[in-house]
Amino acid sequence: MAQSSGASQSGEESFEPELNKAFRDRLKPCLDAIDCLRAQGLQKDVRLPAIAVVGDQSVGKSSVLESISGIDLPRGLGIVTRCPLMLSMRNREEAGWSARIKYKTKTGEGREKKLTGASEVGQAIRDAQNEMTNSSGEVSEQLIELWVESPESPDLTLIDLPGIARYSIDGGGAIAGLTKSLILSYIEKEEILILVVIPCHVDIETVEALSLAKEVDPESKRTIGVLTCPDLVNPGSESEVLALMQNRKIPLKKGYVSVRCRTPQQLKDNMSLQQAAREEEVFFRTHPHFRALDKFEYGTKTLAVKLSSELYEAIKHNIPELMREVQMKREDICKKLETMGCGPPDSIEEMKNLLVRMINKFTTDFANVSTGTIVTSQTGCLVAAASTGRHWLTRLSSAPSQSAVTAAKKDIEEQRGCELPGFDNVYPVVERLVRNHFLKLVREPCSNFLVSVNQEVDETVRTLADLVFGDYPTFNQFIKEVCEGIRTGQVDLAREQIRNIFTEEEPYNEKLRLQHRKPESGGKSGEASISSEKPAATMQDIVERNTQRVLEGAEAYIRVAVRRLQDTITLAVMHYMLHKMSDKLRESLIVLVTEPQPLFDKLREENPLISAKRRHLADRMEKLAAAEQELARF
């Protein structure tokens, strides 16, 4: 930090506003705690006080920050500050200078670099902005974090925001809206102090940054004005500017501080910040009009002290709320850690207990899902799915299809000439019709039904395994392979049972004859039918009449068979794929517990993502606890 003197030159006592050691001892830990919370990304969840530096484009924000921090920041024409810059400065008693910069590129890749000299800072910031944006006229809302420690640095954290631009080559006039939106996203927060940089030689009514500050802080309770370029004031307007400097023209609750930074010529001459501070002191003390300013109303060091004090007061005021928010965040992380568990156990006994708990949970969950005891959005209900599937035969009409009618007529015609009076060939035709048409149509839906239930069971087993054993990938895969073998065996048993049901369903003449026989009326139905036929009946008449009898018999059989097959096959599939599957799972997996030693190595291989997440949460918990302790000191 530049040292101000000039007492020997002016003959007056020099004024060097300093933070006393007791205050610095309170301020630094406070700022460190806030920076710790910000580094944890908690600014989105916790309202962290900060000072945001705003101003119109090219009004000297960088010059002000350079004077405060003692480092060279990027300069140039156009949009120089293209990303928000969090500048954390800390004073230290030991000699030496250190800094580091951290940011994310536009592809999301993290960057962090240590800097060895103050002259490297400007280029490091330019490099960061180039990696964070696509062109020199683009603005990004991503934050660059810069930490600086030196004996000359104040204890202060500032956020430098892009200036309000009017136009850019790449963004055109839209850049004005983008920069305003970015600035407002910071300064609209009640916990943010607003440092507005205003050149003395312009009409203050046209300063857009001050208008934005008034918009979000109409009573000017958290706005601080910084007046720059006092050496460029037009002759004759000094009294009006002095009124502004003394907070009489446009009053702000926190007032103004006037500063004089290095001029372009002084920059060209490589004037040091220390020399610039001395000349600043001389300028205000000797200026015909501005020497009327109180000693707390001008000077870069005065500004640094004022900002440190204001930030400290803002933090102290928000300590109770910050403590509550930090505690809530810690409780949230604690719950997440409890849910994740402590990782693989160390002892054999703990390992065995974990194995028993997980297997019991897995088998119980599958039993509950398969019986419909518990239904979840992740697994659904297997028994409901299987029961719904029992309607897979309803699309088959009990009435024979047109192809069946045609086949029946053809079959009857081929039998013509083989009958004797008093005999008929109707029932063999019904038998062949049922076997060759109906049962063929039914086999495919039955097979599809088994495949559908098998897929549901497979998905459910895998989902439950991931939920229960997901933290241990190797063991999880082993369990899935065991379940796969059991499920395959149950599918084979269910398929064999379906074949047996169809074998039992094969018709034979006497069964169909009994189903279709009508009450006798004076003689056998076949004889009555033949004796009642008219001698002149044509072959076509006989075929049509016998076909109708065949279709009536087939329809009666199919109507009963559809209901029977729906029940028997559905029950068979549910028996093997749900109930027996549940029993087999429990029997096979419980056996594993009797000789658990081979499984322990599989349990020790925890999901690396889970381990990394647990370490990350534990680290955040530790840092939050440290920040909470620091905050508790205030």
User: Which carries the bigger pLDDT value, residue 278 or residue 441?
Assistant: 278
For the whole model, what pTM was predicted?
Answer: 0.58
pLDDT-derived band of residue 323, with 50, 70 and 90 as boundaries?
confident
pLDDT-derived band of residue 3, with 50, 70 and 90 as boundaries?
very low
Write down the pLDDT at residue 528: 38
Highest mean pLDDT among 108-112, 545-549, 561-565: 108-112
Is the pLDDT reported for residue 255 higher than 70? yes
3-class secondary structure, 498: helix
pLDDT-derived band of residue 2, with 50, 70 and 90 as boundaries?
very low
Write down the pLDDT at residue 412: 54
Is the pLDDT reported for residue 544 higher than 60? yes
Write down the pLDDT at residue 12: 38
CA distances from 389 to 384, 424, 446, 491, 502 (A): 8, 41, 10, 16, 19
Highest mean pLDDT among 163-172, 250-259, 434-443, 574-583: 250-259
State pLDDT tens for residues 26-54. Answer: 777 778 777 777 766 666 666 788 899 99
Determine the Cα angle at 470 with ends 468 and 473, to 5°.
135
**If you search the block for the tokens 């594993």, which residue do you land on?**
592
State pLDDT tens for residues 61-115. Answer: 888 888 888 777 776 655 677 889 988 888 888 888 899 999 998 888 889 999 9
Is the pLDDT reported for residue 243 higher than 90? yes
Average pLDDT over residues 294-319: 88
Tokens read off for 139: 């603005």
Highest mean pLDDT among 363-367, 442-446, 559-563: 363-367
Alpha-helix residue ranges (DSSP H) falling in 576-607? 580-594, 597-604
Average pLDDT over residues 316-336: 85
User: Which carries the bigger pLDDT value, residue 301 or residue 81?
Assistant: 301
Instruction: Give the Cα separation of 158 and 299 in Å (integer).
Output: 18
| Letter string b/e over residues 502-516, b meaning 16 or more CB atoms within 10 A of that residue's CB | eeebebeeeebbeeb
State pLDDT tens for residues 150-201. Answer: 888 888 888 888 888 765 545 555 677 888 888 999 999 888 999 999 999 8
Write down the pLDDT at residue 58: 72
Instruction: Give the Cα separation of 178 and 136 in Å (integer).
Output: 15
Determine the Cα angle at 80 with ends 77 and 83, to 5°.
165
Q: Which helix (H) or strand (E) holds 536?
A: none
Average pLDDT over residues 553-569: 73
CB 328 within 8 A of CB 30: no
Instruction: Give the Cα separation of 35 and 496 in Å (integer).
Output: 70
State pLDDT tens for residues 376-401. Answer: 555 555 555 555 555 555 554 444 55
pLDDT-derived band of residue 535, with 50, 70 and 90 as boundaries?
very low
Write down the pLDDT at residue 513: 45
DSSP 3-state helix, strand, coil percentages of the chain (rounded to 5)? 60, 10, 30
Write down the pLDDT at residue 530: 40
pLDDT-derived band of residue 510, with 50, 70 and 90 as boundaries?
very low
Is the pLDDT reported for residue 205 higher than 60? yes
Look over the chain and give the mean of its residue pLDDT values, rounded to a whole number: 77
State pLDDT tens for residues 6-26. Answer: 333 333 333 334 555 666 677
Dump the DSSP string for 98-160: EEEEEEE-TTS-EEEEEE-SGGGHHHHHHHHHHHHSSSTT----PPEEEEEEETT--SEEEEE
Give the residue extent of every domain in the chain: 17-331, 348-509+538-605
Write down the pLDDT at residue 426: 55
Would you identify the CATH topology of the domain 348-509+538-605?
A: Four Helix Bundle (Hemerythrin (Met), subunit A) (1.20.120)
pLDDT-derived band of residue 485, with 50, 70 and 90 as boundaries?
very high
pLDDT-derived band of residue 248, with 50, 70 and 90 as boundaries?
very high
- What's the CATH code, domain 17-331? 3.40.50.300
pLDDT-derived band of residue 253, with 50, 70 and 90 as boundaries?
very high
User: Which carries the bigger pLDDT value, residue 351 or residue 539?
Assistant: 351
Is the pLDDT reported for residue 531 higher than 70? no
